[in-house]
Amino acid sequence: MSLITLPSEKSDSLSSRIVRELIGRQPLLARTALAMALFAIPAALLTLIDPRLINGVSVWTKPFKFLVSTWLYLGTLAWLYGMLPEAVRRARGARWLAWTAVVTAVFEVAYIALQGALGEASHFNTGTPFHAAMFSLMGLAAVVLAACSPWLAVLIARHNRDAAPVYRRAVILGLWLTFVLGAVAGMYMGSRGAHWVGGTASDMGGVPLFGWSRDGGDLRVAHFLGIHAMQILPLLGWLLRDRVQGGALVTMAAGVLGVATIGVFVQALLGQPLL
Q: Given 145, 162, 179, which residue is the final one in a domain?
A: 162
Q: Is the pLDDT of residue 222 over 60?
A: yes
Q: Given 142, 162, 182, which residue is the final one in a domain?
A: 162
Cα–Cα nearest to 101, from 80, 131, 116: 80
8 Å CB contact between 101 and 74: yes
In a domain, 223, yes or no: yes
Q: Is the pLDDT of residue 274 over 90?
A: no
Is residue 181 located within the same domain as residue 64? no
Is residue 192 located within the same domain as residue 271? yes
Is residue 103 located within the same domain as residue 34? yes
Is residue 228 located within the same domain as residue 156? no
8 Å CB contact between 260 and 221: no
Q: Is the pLDDT of residue 1 over 70?
A: no
Residue 196 pairs in a beta bridge with: 218
Helix axes 129-159, 61-81, angle to 10 degrees: 20
In a domain, 31, yes or no: yes
Sign of the four-CA dihedral 82, 84, 90, 94: negative
Is residue 149 located within the same domain as residue 194? no
Distance CA 94, CA 271 (A): 42
In a domain, 6, yes or no: no
8 Å CB contact between 268 and 215: no
Q: Is the pLDDT of residue 85 over 60?
A: yes
**Quick one: residue 50, left, alpha or beta (phi over 0 = left, psi -120 to 50 = alpha)?**
beta
Q: Is the pLDDT of residue 11 over 80?
A: no
Q: Given 162, 187, 206, which residue is the final one in a domain?
A: 162
Distance CA 161, CA 159 (A): 6
Q: What pLDDT score was predicted for residue 51?
A: 94
Is residue 139 located within the same domain as residue 176? no
CA angle 17, 69, 164 (to 5 degrees): 50
8 Å CB contact between 5 and 22: no
Is residue 20 located within the same domain as residue 152? yes
Q: Is the pLDDT of residue 2 over 60?
A: no
Is residue 135 located within the same domain as residue 148? yes
**Quick one: residue 172, left, alpha or beta (phi over 0 = left, psi -120 to 50 = alpha)?**
alpha
8 Å CB contact between 73 and 145: yes
The pTM (predicted TM-score) of the whole model is 0.90
Distance CA 67, CA 250 (A): 29
In a domain, 39, yes or no: yes
Q: Is the pLDDT of residue 3 over 70?
A: no
Which has the minimum average pLDDT: 109-113, 131-135, 185-189? Answer: 185-189
The number of distinct structural domains making up the chain is 2
Confidence band of 12 (pLDDT split at 50, 70, 90): low
**Domain enclosing residue 47, as ranges:** 13-162
